[in-house]
Amino acid sequence: MSQPRKHQRRGKSARPVAVARPEDWPARIQTLLANGKSRDAVEAAKQYLKHAPGPEAEALALQAYLARISALQGNGLHREAQAIGALVNERFPAHKAQVALLMQQSDVATGQFDSLLTALVTAEGQQRRALEAILSRGLTDPALLAAAPALPPEHPLKQTAQTVSELFAAVTSGPLPPGALAALDAIPRSSPLAPWKLLIRGFEAFYRRADETALANLKAIPADTAPGRLAQVLRRLLGATDLPAGPAGAAAALLSQVSGVRPLLETHLAQLSQALMDRNERRAMSAVQALLPLLQTASRALRSTFIISVLHHWYRQNLSPQPLLRLLPSTKRDPDILRLLALTLERPIWDEALEFWYSYVREATATGLLPRTGPERARVLLHMASIFPPEAETVFDLLAVDSEQELRQAIRVGDLPMYFDRGALLEQALAADPSSNVFRALVDHYEKWGDPKRAEAEAETWRRAHPQELEPLLHLIRVTERRGAVRKALNYLADAEAIDRVHPAVRQSRFRLLLAGAERRLKEHKAALARDDLRQLAQEPRANEGDHQVYLLALALLAAQQQGDTTATEHYIPLLQQAAANPVLQQLTLESISTTLKLPPPAAAPGKPSAAQILDGVARACDLFRALERPLTLSPALQKHVEQHLKSASAAQLHALCTGALWLQRPALAYHAAGQGLRLHDPLAYRFLLARGRALGMSYDFNVAERARACLRAARELASRMRDMDAVREASEALATIPHWDMFNAMLHGGPAALEEPPLTQEDITQLMAREGQSRSTPHFPAAPGNRKRRQPSQRRRPRRLLDDLFSMLPLEEFF
Amino acid sequence: MDPFAVLGLDDTADDAAVRAAYLRALQTSPPDRDPEGFQRIRAAYEALRDAESRMDLRLFGPAPLADLTELLEAFPEERRYVGPTPWLNLLREPRR
Across A61-74, average pLDDT: 87
pLDDT at residue A53 above 90?
no
pLDDT at residue A6 above 90?
no
Query: Does any CB of chain A come closer than 8 Å to the CB of residue B60?
Result: yes
Across A21-42, average pLDDT: 86
Window from A39-43, A247-251, A317-321, B30-34 with minimum mean pLDDT:
A247-251
Please name the residue of chain B whose CA is at the shortest distance from the CA of residue A252: B90
Task: Report the distance separating Cα B41 and Cα B10, nearest Å.
Answer: 15
Q: Which residues contact A20 (CB under 8 A, 6 or more apart)?
A: none
CA distance B15 to chain A (A): 17
Distance of CA A123 to the CA centre of its chain: 71
Helices (H) and strands (E) in chain A, counts: 42, 0
Q: What are phi and psi of A112, to 5 degrees?
A: -100, 85
Query: Does any CB of chain A come closer than 8 Å to the CB of residue B32?
Result: no
Pairs across A and B, CB distance < 8 A: 143
Select the more confidently predicted residue: A286 or A94.
Answer: A286
pLDDT for the residue A760: 77
Task: Report the distance separating Cα A538 and Cα A544, nearest Å.
Answer: 8
A304 to chain B: which residues are within 8 Å by CB?
A: 61-62
pLDDT digits (tens, 9 = 90+) for A657-687: 999 999 998 999 999 999 999 998 888 899 9
pLDDT at residue A180 above 80?
yes
CA distance A691 to chain B (A): 31
pLDDT at residue A805 above 80?
no
Task: Report the distance separating Cα A592 and Cα A590, nearest Å.
Answer: 6
Residue type at A345 in one-letter notation: L
pLDDT for the residue A130: 83
CA distance B73 to chain A (A): 10
Task: Report the distance separating Cα A473 and Cα A497, nearest Å.
Answer: 10
Residue type at A518 in one-letter notation: A
B68 to chain A: which residues are within 8 Å by CB?
A: 269, 272-273, 276, 309-310, 313
Q: At what angle do helices A422-432 and A375-386 cross, to 10 degrees?
A: 160
B77 to chain A: which residues are within 8 Å by CB?
A: 259, 262
Task: Report the distance separating Cα A599 and Cα A615, nearest Å.
Answer: 26
The Cα-based distances of A83 to A66, A149, A193 in angstroms read: 12, 25, 28
Among A346, A345, A344, A339, which residue's Cα sits nearest to residue A376?
A339
The answer to whether the Cβ–Cβ distance between A273 and B67 falls below 8 Å is yes
A312 to chain B: which residues are within 8 Å by CB?
A: 64
Query: Does any CB of chain B come closer than 8 Å to the CB of residue A796?
Result: no
pLDDT digits (tens, 9 = 90+) for A606-639: 788 999 999 999 999 999 999 888 999 999 999 9
Question: Could you tell me what percent of chain B has a pLDDT over 90?
Answer: 38
The answer to whether the Cβ–Cβ distance between B69 and A304 falls below 8 Å is no
B89 to chain A: which residues are within 8 Å by CB?
A: 250
Contact A681, A742 (CB under 8 A): no
Which among B4, B69, B95 has the least Cβ separation from residue A270? B69
Window from A236-240, A380-384, B82-86 with minimum mean pLDDT:
A236-240
Select the more confidently predicted residue: A16 or A242.
Answer: A242
- Its pTM stands at 0.61
The answer to whether the Cβ–Cβ distance between B90 and A305 falls below 8 Å is no
CA distance B44 to chain A (A): 13
**Predicted ipTM beyond 0.85:** no
Sign for the CA dihedral angle at A96, A100, A101, A106 comes to positive
Select the more confidently predicted residue: A295 or A98.
Answer: A295
CA distance B31 to chain A (A): 25
Select the more confidently predicted residue: A385 or A755.
Answer: A385
CA distance B1 to chain A (A): 8
Please name the residue of chain A whose CA is at the shortest distance from the CA of residue B65: A309
Residue type at A42 in one-letter notation: V
pLDDT at residue A218 above 80?
yes
Query: Does any CB of chain A come closer than 8 Å to the CB of residue B33?
Result: no
Cβ-based neighbour number of residue A491 at 10 Å: 15
The answer to whether the Cβ–Cβ distance between A249 and B93 falls below 8 Å is yes
pLDDT digits (tens, 9 = 90+) for A772-802: 988 878 888 866 444 344 444 434 444 444 4
Confidence tier at A339 by pLDDT (50, 70, 90) = confident
Confidence tier at B81 by pLDDT (50, 70, 90) = very high
Query: Does any CB of chain B come closer than 8 Å to the CB of residue A722?
Result: no
Which among A249, A262, A383 has the least Cβ separation from residue B78? A262
In chain A, positions 248-307, which contact chain B (CB-CB < 8 Å)? 248-251, 253-254, 257-262, 265-266, 269-270, 272-273, 276, 298-302, 304-306
pLDDT for the residue A262: 86
Confidence tier at A319 by pLDDT (50, 70, 90) = confident
Query: Does any CB of chain B come closer than 8 Å to the CB of residue A729?
Result: no
Helix%, strand%, coil% for chain A, nearest 5: 70, 0, 30
Task: Report the distance separating Cα A576 and Cα A586, nearest Å.
Answer: 7
Sign for the CA dihedral angle at B57, B59, B64, B70 comes to positive
Residue type at A798 in one-letter notation: R
B88 to chain A: which residues are within 8 Å by CB?
A: 140-141
Residue type at A328 in one-letter notation: L
Contact A569, A585 (CB under 8 A): no
**Candidates A171, A299, A340, partner chain B, best to mutate (most B CBs within 10 A):** A299
pLDDT at residue A75 above 70?
yes
Select the more confidently predicted residue: A300 or A160.
Answer: A160
pLDDT for the residue A337: 84
Task: Report the distance separating Cα A151 and Cα A142, nearest Å.
Answer: 13
Q: Which H helix or E strand runs over A527?
A: helix A527-538
Contact A762, A768 (CB under 8 A): no
pLDDT at residue A720 above 90?
no
Across A505-523, average pLDDT: 90
Across A198-206, average pLDDT: 96
The answer to whether the Cβ–Cβ distance between A261 and B75 falls below 8 Å is yes
Query: Does any CB of chain A come closer than 8 Å to the CB of residue B12?
Result: no
Query: Does any CB of chain B come closer than 8 Å to the CB of residue A237?
Result: yes
Please name the residue of chain B whose CA is at the shortest distance from the CA of residue A237: B79
Task: Report the distance separating Cα A701 and Cα A564, nearest Å.
Answer: 52
pLDDT, mean over chain A: 85
The Cα-based distances of A592 to A523, A588, B31 in angstroms read: 13, 6, 61
pLDDT for the residue A700: 65
B94 to chain A: which residues are within 8 Å by CB?
A: 75-77
